[in-house]
Structure formats: C-alpha cells, structure tokens
C-alpha cells in the first residue's frame, strides 16, 4: 500500500509539473509569439517549397537518354527533393528562434518546433529517399528513434544512460552507446564502399580496350581494395587498435596452411585464370571430367558453367589449372562443324559437292571466312557413298543440334530437288545350290 501511495505521489508530481509548463506556455506572451513564428515558418516553408520544386525539377532533371556522370549526379540530387519542405521549415524556424531569443531571452517552444521539423526530415529520408534495404533498416530502427528522442529533448539523457550500460563479453566489455555507434558508422562506411565498388565496376566494364579477363581482374582488385580500406576506416574510427589484428592474421595464416589449402589454391588459380585470359566469361569450355558449358561467372573460389539445359555447374578454379580444358569459343571466335550424309551408288557423285556446298552456303549463320562450306568424299559404305560437309559458324552448336540440324535439312532438300537418292540399308541374300522339294 505504501509503494502504491508513493507511485501515485510521483505521478501526481509529474502531472503538476507538466501542467505548470503548459500553463506557462499558454499564458506567456513569449510562448504565443513563438507559436506564431513557428506557424509562420511552416507556411513560409510550404510556399517556398511549392515555388522551388518545379524549378528544381526543370533544371535538374536530365534527358532520359543521358547516362553520363553529370546526369547521374543530377538524378542523385533529385532524390532529396522530398526533404525540401522540412529543411526549409527548419531553417526558417532557426531564424525565428534567434529573433525570440533576442527579444524575450528564451525560445523553448520554437526550439521544440525546430527539432520536430528535423524529426520529420529524418522520417521522410528513411521512407521516401533511401532505397537501399540495409540503410532503410538502419534508418527505421536507429535514425528515426534518435530523431524522435532529439525532438522531445531527451537525447542527451538517453545517450548518457546508454554509455553507462556496459555489456561484458569475456575479457572485453563495451557500452551500448559504443555498439550503436559501431553499427551506424560501420553500416554507413560499408554502404559507401559498396556504392563506390558498383561505380568502379561499371567504369571498368566500359573500358572496351581492355581484355575481358583483365577487366574482371581489375574489378576484383578494386573491390578488395575498397572494402579493405572501409574495414580499416571502421576499425580506426571506433578506436580499435589495428595491432590487435596481428593475432587474427596469424590464426588465419595457420588456417590457410592446414584447413584452407583448397580455398587458397582455388583463389590463386582464379587470379591466374584472370591474368592469362585463356578462359573467360562467355567462353564455351569442356573439362576432362566431362563438364561442359558456357562460363557465366568467375568468382574468387570457383567458375560457374551454364549448360545447354540451363543448369549451373560450379567448377573449382584449380581444375582449370591442373586438368586439360578445351575452349571451343575463345571469346566468340569461329568454330568448325561437320554434317555427314550418304547418297546411293547410282548417283553421279561428281555433282554432289557443288550441290551441297551451294545449299549449305545459303544458311545465314554459315561463314565464308575463314573457309566456305566444303563437301568431301569420306568413303564407300555398305549402303551408299559417304560424304561430309564442313562449315564454319560464329557460336557453339546447341547440343550438336543447332546449326547442324538446319544444314542437314538443306542437304536433304537439295538432294531431293536434284533427284539424288539418299540410301537406306539393303541386304542381299545368296542361296547356293538348287532348291528342291521333298516328295512323299
């Protein structure tokens, strides 16, 4: 009962204190003046933002076909247009705050309004401006609550309380405030690192004078450098001694020596592949183990092949160094294929090559350079005369039934149009002696 009475007394005390503050604001000329200035600042911001937004959109919106760095910068600035109203209101309120302080010596009401406009700016930033999922989560659960605490004027007290709350972790201990700072600073720096990596990767990709393998190696090197610098920055900003990472580096070295040999081997093999450029993204390759497909991605650990039926095969980079690899495409070079066929023995075989070569040359994918179609006599079979036509195309035959299928159709139609018979197996049975019937 005593505890309940004390709780009621405390609640009553807080209520009276709040009533005194409200009464002071409602009855004070300074408070009414601040309210009026606050409303004037808000409506002035509304008017100014309505006037400025069309001008900003007009002069900053680039043509849709432009994609250069200046156009990207203009689009980036346009992302922050929704913040125009709360920021203008914050600025106008700051002017009103300086006026009230110079006249009345206080500005608590208008200062609260200024902080409230900053809270609105933070909320709009998270809701309408930020598109990155990670930054959106950080903004929703860290930035907006911090802005709300700042708006009601208790941010400093909460920060002190978080700093006093220490979390033990073995031989280490840190405060909740340190943890929040680490999350915010680390998230922001690594987001900037990822953005920088995307920009550098796009720039390197557009350097067409570089070999594809060299472009990919340069992009990987830039990625490692950017995130390495980001990691060192986070450690330095948070006051973590970099010398303490020497032990971690030794542990990683021992792990590489014993348990991570394959990973290290695959990583080094991947670097060698990118440097040599003997197999790169877009090439169709076949390994000794029978794996075949088009290289669609090369990572630090493995190379990914896509087969004709859409399946992905993950091949360790080491296999490309230690085993025999057949590269069929070599980044788009021409490839030679053969289409075998036969004609009957009653055919004038001297006419067949010209007829077949002319028919195959009509295929739009068949090349005349490095060599035009070439029909060759291959042998005399059991049922007919065997021929084969060689042709060159830019690309890989789809499971041996892409270009070759169309070529065989053209050969069939050309032979039929010239009344040349395509044989089928014949069997001749010879019976020695006379056939006699046994009578009873």
Which strand (E) or helix (H) includes residue 378? strand 374-380
Residues 301, 308: contact at Cβ < 8 Å?
A: no
State which of 183-192, 225-234, 320-329 shows the largest mean pLDDT: 320-329
Q: How far apart are CA 361 and CA 368, in angstroms?
A: 8
Q: How far apart are CA 230 and CA 194, in angstroms?
A: 10
Q: In this predicted structure, which of 220-234, 271-285, 424-438 has the lowest mean pLDDT? A: 424-438
273 & 340 share domain: no
Give the count of alpha carbons within 13 A of 380, CB side only: 4
* Residue 372 pLDDT > 80: yes
Q: Mention every residue, 6+ apart, whose C-beta is less than 8 A from residue 176.
A: 162, 163, 165, 167
User: Phi and psi at residue 6, in whole multiples of 5°?
Assistant: -65, -40
C-alpha of 235 from chain center:
26
User: Which pLDDT band, with edges at 50, 70 and 90, does 30 fall under?
Assistant: low
296 & 388 share domain: no
134 & 34 share domain: yes
Helical H segments across 105-154, by residue range:
108-124, 133-138, 144-152
Assess if residue 207 is contained within a domain: no
What 3 state SS string does 326-376 have? EECCCCCCEEEEEEEEEECCCCCCCCHHHHHHHHHHCCCCECCCCCCCEEE
What 3 state SS string does 205-266 have? HCCCCCCHHHHHHHHHHHHHHHHHHHHHHHHHHCCCCHHHHHHHHHHHHHHHHHCCHHHHHH
Assess if residue 343 is contained within a domain: yes
Q: How far apart are CA 259 and CA 268, in angstroms?
A: 16
Residues 391, 339: contact at Cβ < 8 Å?
A: yes
DSSP string, 73-90: HHHHHHTTGGGHHHHHHH
Assess if residue 311 is contained within a domain: yes
Residue that terminates a domain, selected from 327, 360, 375: 327
Residues 218, 211: contact at Cβ < 8 Å?
A: no
Question: Using one digit for the tens of pLDDT, what is the confidence trace for 100-155?
Answer: 767 666 667 777 888 888 888 888 888 888 887 777 887 888 888 888 888 887 87
Considering the chain, what is the average pLDDT of its residues?
A: 77
User: Which pLDDT band, with edges at 50, 70 and 90, does 221 fall under?
Assistant: confident
Domain containing 283: what range?
Answer: 261-327
Assess if residue 52 is contained within a domain: yes
Which pLDDT belongs to residue 334? 76
User: Which pLDDT band, with edges at 50, 70 and 90, does 295 fall under?
Assistant: confident
Which pLDDT belongs to residue 224? 74
52 & 79 share domain: yes
Q: How far apart are CA 64 and CA 71, in angstroms?
A: 9
Residue that terminates a domain, selected from 273, 299, 327: 327
Q: How far apart are CA 232 and CA 426, in angstroms?
A: 80
Mean pLDDT of 275-298: 78
Which is it for strands 325-327 and 284-287: parallel, antiparallel or unpaired? antiparallel
Mean pLDDT of 338-361: 89
Q: In this predicted structure, which of 197-201, 239-243, 262-266, 407-411 has the lowest mean pLDDT? A: 239-243
Domain with residue 404: its CATH number is 3.30.70.100
Which pLDDT belongs to residue 412? 92
Instruction: Write b or e for each residue in 64-92: b if 16 or more Cβ atoms lie within 10 A of its Cβ, otherwise e.
Output: eeeeeeeeeeeeeeeeebbbbbbbbbbbb
309 & 363 share domain: no
Residues 270, 317: contact at Cβ < 8 Å?
A: yes
Residues 365, 403: contact at Cβ < 8 Å?
A: yes
274 & 378 share domain: no
Question: Using one digit for the tens of pLDDT, what is the confidence trace for 176-187?
Answer: 777 777 777 777
374 & 272 share domain: no
Domain with residue 295: its CATH number is 2.30.30.60
Assess if residue 439 is contained within a domain: no
User: Which pLDDT band, with edges at 50, 70 and 90, does 250 fall under?
Assistant: low
Which pLDDT belongs to residue 3? 53
Residues 389, 360: contact at Cβ < 8 Å?
A: yes
Q: What length does the chain have?
A: 440
| CA dihedral of 155, 130, 132, 202, whole degrees rounded to 10 | -130
Question: Using one digit for the tens of pLDDT, what is the confidence trace for 306-317?
Answer: 887 778 888 888
376 & 276 share domain: no
Higher pLDDT, 362 or 402: 362
Assess if residue 437 is contained within a domain: no
Mean pLDDT of 421-440: 67
* Residue 196 pLDDT > 80: no
311 & 343 share domain: no
Which pLDDT belongs to residue 296? 81
Q: How far apart are CA 298 and CA 281, in angstroms?
A: 7
Instruction: Record the tokens describing residue 412, joined without a space.
Output: 């069939």
* Residue 27 pLDDT > 60: no
**DSSP summary character for residue 384:** S
317 & 360 share domain: no
Residue that terminates a domain, selected from 300, 327, 354: 327
Assess if residue 50 is contained within a domain: yes
- The candidate with the shortest Cα–Cα distance to 397, out of 294, 325, 302, 313, is 294
**Which residues are bridge partners to 302 per DSSP?**
316
Percent of the chain residues past pLDDT 70, beyond the cut: 77
**DSSP summary character for residue 399:** G
312 & 357 share domain: no
Residue with tokens 């346009």: 78
Domain count, the chain: 3
Assess if residue 226 is contained within a domain: no
Which pLDDT belongs to residue 148? 86
CA angle 287/288/293 to nearest 5° reads 25
Q: In this predicted structure, which of 19-28, 72-81, 153-162, 286-295 has the lowest mean pLDDT? A: 19-28
State which of 24-38, 283-297, 376-390 shows the largest mean pLDDT: 376-390
Sign of the Cα pseudo-torsion (353, 359, 360, 364, in order): positive
Question: Using one digit for the tens of pLDDT, what is the confidence trace for 66-83?
Answer: 777 787 778 878 888 888
User: Phi and psi at residue 438, in whole multiples of 5°?
Assistant: -90, 120
Higher pLDDT, 216 or 289: 289
Residue with tokens 């990155």: 132
119 & 47 share domain: yes
- The candidate with the shortest Cα–Cα distance to 317, out of 261, 276, 271, is 271
């Amino acid at each position: 009962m005593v505890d309940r009475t004390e709780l009621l007394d405390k609640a009553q005390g807080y209520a009276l204190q709040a009533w005194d503050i409200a009464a002071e604001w409602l009855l004070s000329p300074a408070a009414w003046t601040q309210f009026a200035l606050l409303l004037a600042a808000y409506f002035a911001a509304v008017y100014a933002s309505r006037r400025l937004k069309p001008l900003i959109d007009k002069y900053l919106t680039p043509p849709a076909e432009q994609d250069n760095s200046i156009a990207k910068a203009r689009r980036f600035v346009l992302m922050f247009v929704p913040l125009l109203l709360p920021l203008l209101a914050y600025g106008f309120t700051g002017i009103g705050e300086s006026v009230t302080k110079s006249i009345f010596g206080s500005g608590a009401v208008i200062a609260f309004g200024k902080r409230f406009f900053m809270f609105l700016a933070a909320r709009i930033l998270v809701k309408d401006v930020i598109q990155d999922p990670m930054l959106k989560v950080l903004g929703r659960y860290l930035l907006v609550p911090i802005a709300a605490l700042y708006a009601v004027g208790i941010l400093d007290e909460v920060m002190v309380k978080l700093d006093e709350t220490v979390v033990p972790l073995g031989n280490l201990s840190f405060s909740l405030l340190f943890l929040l700072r680490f999350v915010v600073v680390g998230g922001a720096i690594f987001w900037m690192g990822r953005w920088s990596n995307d920009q550098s990767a796009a720039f390197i990709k557009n350097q067409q004078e570089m070999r594809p393998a060299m472009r990919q190696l340069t992009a990987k090197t830039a990625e490692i450098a950017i995130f390495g610098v980001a990691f060192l920055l986070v450690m330095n900003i948070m006051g973590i001694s970099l010398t303490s990472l020497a032990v971690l580096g030794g542990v990683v070295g021992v792990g590489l020596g014993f348990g991570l040999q394959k990973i290290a081997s695959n990583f080094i093999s991947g670097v060698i592949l990118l440097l040599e450029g003997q197999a790169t993204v877009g090439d169709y390759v076949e390994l000794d183990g029978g794996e075949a497909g088009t290289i669609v991605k090369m990572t630090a650990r493995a190379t990914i092949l896509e087969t004709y039926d859409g399946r992905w095969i993950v091949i360790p980079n080491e296999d490309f160094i230690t085993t025999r690899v057949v590269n069929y495409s070599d980044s788009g070079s021409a490839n030679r294929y053969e289409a075998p066929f036969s004609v009957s023995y009653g055919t004038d075989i001297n006419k067949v090559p010209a007829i077949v070569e002319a028919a195959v040359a009509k295929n739009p994918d068949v090349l005349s350079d490095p060599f035009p179609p070439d029909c060759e006599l291959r042998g005399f079979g059991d049922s007919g005369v065997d021929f084969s036509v060689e042709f060159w195309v830019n690309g890989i035959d789809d499971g041996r039934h892409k270009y070759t299928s169309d070529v065989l159709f053209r050969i069939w139609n050309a032979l039929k149009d010239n009344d040349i018979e395509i044989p089928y197996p014949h069997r001749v049975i010879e019976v020695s002696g006379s056939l006699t019937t046994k009578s009873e």
